[in-house]
Amino acid sequence: MTIGEISRFVLPIVVSVLLFAYAGFCWVKQKVHVRGKGWQTREESTKTFYFTIAIMILLGIGQLFSLIYFAKF
């Protein structure tokens, strides 16, 4: 395997782990970063909090599925 082939498998895994980690961090702290307003609690911006958590998890799952779908063995 060459470096390009290895990075094609490793990069989506790293990105998905980072997306899951950010979603988990926001969930544990019960805060989300809102552009222009800074860190807001879940009560201050409920829709943005849940939207961010959902998007981060969906993007992470999408990264993992893209790795499986586009893998050329």
> Are the C-beta atoms of 52 and 19 separated by less than 8 Å?
no
Per the structure, the complete domain to which residue 26 belongs is given by: 3-69
Query: How large a percentage of the chain has pLDDT more than 90?
Result: 73
In the predicted model, residues of the chain with pLDDT beneath 50 are none
| Domain total of the chain | 1
β-strands 31-34, 38-41 pairing: antiparallel
